[in-house]
Amino acid sequence: MNFDALFQFQLDTLKQEGNYRYFAELERKCGKFPHAANHHDGDVRDVTVWCSNDYLGMGQNPLVIDAMCEAVQRTGTGAGGTRNISGTNHDHLLLERALADLHNKEAALLFTSGYVSNWAALSTLGSRLKDCIILSDAGNHASMIEGIRHSRAQKVIWKHNDVADLEAKLAKLPANAPKIVAFESVYSMDGDIAPIRKIVEVAEKYGAMTYLDEVHAVGLYGPRGGGVAEQEGLMDRITLIEGTLGKAYGVVGGYITGSAALCDFIRSFASGFIFTTALPPAVAAAARASIEHLKQSDSERMKQRAQVAKLRDGLDRAGIPHLMNDSHIVPVMIKDPVKTKMLADYLMDEWGIYVQPINYPTVPKGTERLRFTPSPLHSDEDIAHLVAALTSLWKQCAIAHAVA
């Protein structure tokens, strides 16, 4: 059997469709964010990163760096085991307490990533709760979809952010079956925000538990960075809040928060929690420093909002269409995978601007886009440079259209 030929055949198909993924080989430069070096074909060039999920630049915050360095000196590199077998360190528990406090919950549980936390929590809930039915928003992230699939629980998909559809589907289900309504607050690709209050009201009416992924909101929304549910005063009405330490908090790791019994249940039964080495204590210490800082500092969030507004304003003035939403995510729809890649290549080569083309399966086919995430560290000059680059591109496209 020529396995490589089998692999290559499918890779070639991806390339023909324009869906093959090319990674930019970046070298982040501490203190220079959003500027970084890009390694390409033996060349190294400075680029401005416009698609990072280190939304506030906390990955280079001196407090976070100091916390990680201090903890490495104090505890060494790795955790030394799974949480069960010698891997639970004091720093993990301090972080879990900080997370429970962030969301005003009794308890929190740490995972090696946000993906793993969704996958493990949903697969455990769906498989361990007898006759459980999971109602999943159609726009949910792959980590939730995979967790639900793995649970083998009955799954009902409701229309994205459509509370009437959710209610219609809930109403048809057996009253006494345990139900979970799983959704996100900020959807990362369109940047739209769920009507959390209405979803909670409907879920409460039908006795369903609520499972909320706040991955793209923690650190960024709410007076202490607790997410959109904190901003809306709804945290205590959500059964389980899930988040990441890898995006706005600038480190790595994922977590769930909820009642003590819920977290103990996942801790006790989730394979994805039990059978893997705990995060390095230094990672936990750095994440906690980031969380605690953003609990009491609003300046990063305010500056980010200002830069997001400036980019939107610049795009509007230049006549470049972008998806409007209430979040920090600025999608420019191109709707074709090959064109999206061409535009991204051009921005990188001619303008030193790095924005990753977003293609299938991250977004549905035909909705390919460039997705910009302005941070508090993108200067007004960075924004002007991006708008100038896109303006020049748009003019060239208009010319191309006219000639064609």
Ligand X SMILES: *Cc1c(COP(=O)(O)O)cnc(C)c1O
Give catalytic residues, as residue numbers.
247
Give 115 or 354: the residue with its C-beta nearer to ligand X: 115
Stretch that binds ligand X, among 43-51, 107-115, 169-177, 369-377 (CB under 6 A): 107-115
Question: Nearest distance from residue 369's CB to ligand X, in Å?
Answer: 15
244 binds ligand X (CB under 6 A): yes
Q: Which amino acid is at 120?
A: A
**Of the candidates 369, 393, 373, which has an alpha carbon nearest to the alpha carbon of residue 382?**
373
Question: Nearest distance from residue 184's CB to ligand X, in Å?
Answer: 5
Q: Using CB under 6 A, which residues numbered 213 to 232 contact ligand X? A: 213, 215-216
Question: Nearest distance from residue 243's CB to ligand X, in Å?
Answer: 8
User: Is the sign of the CA dihedral 301, 302, 306, 309 positive or negative?
Assistant: positive
Q: Secondary structure of 346-376 in the HEC alphabet?
A: HHHHHHCEECCEECCCCCCCCCCEEEECCCC
Give 273 or 387: the residue with its C-beta nearer to ligand X: 273
Stretch that binds ligand X, among 109-117, 169-177, 295-303, 331-339 (CB under 6 A): 109-117
Give 143 or 307: the residue with its C-beta nearer to ligand X: 143
Q: Binding ligand X by CB under 6 A: which of 115, 211, 221, 354? A: 115
Question: Nearest distance from residue 116's CB to ligand X, in Å?
Answer: 7
254 binds ligand X (CB under 6 A): yes
Stretch that binds ligand X, among 34-42, 211-219, 259-267, 351-359 (CB under 6 A): 211-219
Give 52 or 113: the residue with its C-beta nearer to ligand X: 113
**CA 198 distance to own-chain centroid:** 23
322 vs 333: CA distance, rounded Å: 7
143 binds ligand X (CB under 6 A): yes
Question: Nearest distance from residue 53's CB to ligand X, in Å?
Answer: 7
113 binds ligand X (CB under 6 A): yes
158 vs 170: CA distance, rounded Å: 10
Q: Which residue has the tokens 């904190």?
A: 230
What is the strand order of the sheet 369-372 is part of?
Answer: 330-333, 369-372, 357-358
Q: Secondary structure of 278-324 in the HEC alphabet?
A: CCCHHHHHHHHHHHHHHHHCCHHHHHHHHHHHHHHHHHHHCCCCCCC
Stretch that binds ligand X, among 111-119, 225-233, 269-277, 306-314 (CB under 6 A): 111-119
184 binds ligand X (CB under 6 A): yes
Structure tokens at 97: 């307490």
Question: Nearest distance from residue 111's CB to ligand X, in Å?
Answer: 8
Q: Binding ligand X by CB under 6 A: which of 75, 88, 89, 118? A: 118
Residue nearest to ligand X (CB): 114
Number of residues in contact with ligand X under rule CB under 6 A: 14
**8 A C-beta contact, residue 238 and residue 111:** no
327 binds ligand X (CB under 6 A): no
Backbone conformation region of residue 228, classed left if phi is above 0, alpha if psi is from -120 to 50, else beta: alpha
114 binds ligand X (CB under 6 A): yes
Q: Which residues pair with 240 in a beta bridge?
A: 211
Residue count of the chain, please give it.
404
257 binds ligand X (CB under 6 A): no
Q: Which residues pair with 28 in a beta bridge?
A: 36
Question: Nearest distance from residue 275's CB to ligand X, in Å?
Answer: 18
Looking from the CA of 19 toward its CB, the CA atoms found within 13 Å total 16
314 vs 317: CA distance, rounded Å: 5
Q: Which residues bind ligand X (CB under 6 A)?
A: 113-115, 118, 141, 143, 184, 188, 213, 215-216, 244, 246, 254
